[in-house]
Chains A and B, each alone.
Chain A
Amino acid sequence: MKFSQRSSASYPHAATGSGSLRYVALGIFLIYCVLPATWVLAAITKDSTQILTTFGFWIAYPPHFFENVAALLAYRQGIFLLWFVNSLLYASSISIGTTLICAFGGYAFSKYDFPGKTFLFNFILGTIMVPSTALVLPLFLMLNKLGMVNTMWGVIIPSLVNPFGLYLMRVFWDSSLPNDLIEAAGWTGLGSSGSSGALGCRSCRPVS
């Protein structure tokens, strides 16, 4: 009871004046976010002449929705579905891979000390600043030598590098797994990796 009292005190209903202003502001931004999507949804129903002659934000009559979808699926013998499946594949493998790699790496930076640790960490973070377009050609030449061009791995593996993810994971490990816990585990006789593994996996499950 006391809790609900507190929460209602922390989030009071704003006085009516600022309340409606708030809704107006939120509403405007809502429209702004949705506007381009509205245009796309309306455009889906149009054929190439209606696109120019009907109002942008409203659907056309007669609608050509099914024709457009059919044309999309038939385009180049249904390659769109293949692209879609590929995207799903890439998205899942890259996100899983990056999370794992960064989780391990972040743990190392968070829980261990080794010479050059600060320098290495800052260096890795610093590389975020390199414009990616400059890397494209050298990366391509390298992948070429490795024979990875035009393969799935050529897309997945370079994308696994995520310095920002490393940073996030280090912060996470810093805050969620106090070093004393590890020491305690160490006393029970587990090796360093054993204790890290057991504790680490348990605590990081909710986050990733």
Chain B
Amino acid sequence: MRYRKTALLFLAPFLTVFVAFYLAPVLYAIYLSLFIKKRVGIGPPKEVFGGLTNYFRAVHDTDFLIGLKNMFAFGIVQIPVMLGLAIVLALLLHVSRGLILRFCRTVFVMPYTIPAAIAALIWGYLYSRNLSPFNQMLGLVGRGPIDFISPEIVLFSIGNIVTWSWTGYNMITLFAALQNIPTDLYEAARVDGATELSLVRYIKIPLLIPTLLLLFIFSVIGTSQLFTEAYVLRPLGYVADNITPNMYLYLTAARDANYGYAGALAALLAIVVFPISGFFLRRFTSR
């Protein structure tokens, strides 16, 4: 009895804000998703209860499905590249010392400190046809400018921005994990005649796997919520409405004022991401 009351006391602040400003909007969004718009003549739309109509429509919506496909394609390429880079850099830093270590550590994390919208703006300039130094340099050697926003490579361009922003953060987390590895392990291995490379292979990487899993889960969730970078690039040229499901969702709500459908899309998006994160989260917490 005594235990429970104090627990509630400690939990109260978090739960209050959580329920009021997180849970309530989620439930409200789901509630809204059960309504569809019906218009009579040129009056304002009436919100009519449509049950699961919005969900039905979403599941058959090719634009939404293509958005999901983009999200998967993006994740399959970008997440391994970013985490791979992060591991390599963390390992390299781990055997560095002194000034190099401190300098690199600070600079690598710097992109993470830049807000996503600003990063996207800066890279947007670097991607623009006439303003970009890359295109300037290409122009000097006589090649035509690359359109970084063209549908073929726009996902790579966005992927580049995300990688640039987040590799440092992932690296520093892995680096901290590396530092937590007790050094006696290295000693023992060296006594057994291990080389530097096998230290990495048999000690460092295996012990990094829990951290890696965690970072992977967050990357998956982050990928599913990809919005800012794509949205900021829109004024530069044509970026598809459904380049990411989150952007498609936003435009449905903000531009088309179709909040019911947006709610359904959000719920479906969460449902799609849930099993993926859940699967890896379970593997992680079972360790």
State the A residues within 8 Å of B (CB): 6-7, 9-12, 14, 18, 22-23, 25-26, 29-30, 32-37, 39-40, 43, 51-52, 55-57, 100-102, 104-105, 107-109, 111-114, 124-139, 141-142, 157-158, 160-161, 163, 166, 191-193, 196
Complex Cα spacing A113 to B123, Å: 49
Known: A12-B196, A33-B111. A129 touches B22 (CB 8 A): no
User: Contact at B270–A130, with CB atoms within 8 Å?
Assistant: yes
The B237-256 residues at the A interface (CB cut-off 8 A) are 245-247, 249-250, 253-254
Give Cα A11 to B119, complex, Å: 35
Total residue contacts A-B, CB cutoff 8 A: 198
Stretch of B42-50, B53-61, B95-103, B141-149 lying at the A interface: B95-103
User: Does B187 contact A134, Cβ atoms closer than 8 Å?
Assistant: no
- B279 within 8 A of partner (CB): no
Q: Which residues of A contact B131 (CB under 8 A)?
A: 51-52, 56
Interface size on B, residues (CB 8 A): 81
Contacts of B186 in A (CB 8 A): 9-10
Residue pair A127, B196 in contact (C-beta under 8 Å): no
Listed A/B pairs (17) with beta-carbon separation below 8 Å = A11-B97, A25-B88, A33-B168, A36-B119, A102-B14, A105-B13, A108-B7, A108-B8, A114-B3, A129-B277, A133-B253, A134-B249, A135-B29, A138-B32, A191-B2, A192-B2, A192-B6
- CB-based contact B26/A127 at 8 Å: yes
Q: Say yes or no: A36 contacts B85, CB within 8 Å.
A: no
B-to-A contact residues, CB < 8 Å: 2-4, 6-11, 13-15, 17-18, 21-26, 28-29, 32, 85, 88-89, 92-97, 100, 104, 107-108, 110-111, 119, 122-123, 125-126, 130-134, 136, 164, 167-168, 183, 186-187, 190, 196, 221, 224-225, 227, 245-247, 249-250, 253-254, 259, 262-263, 265-267, 269-270, 273-274, 277-278, 281
**Contact partner of A114 among B7, B97, B274, B281, CB < 8 A?**
B7
On chain A, the residues within 8 Å of B221 by CB distance are 128-129
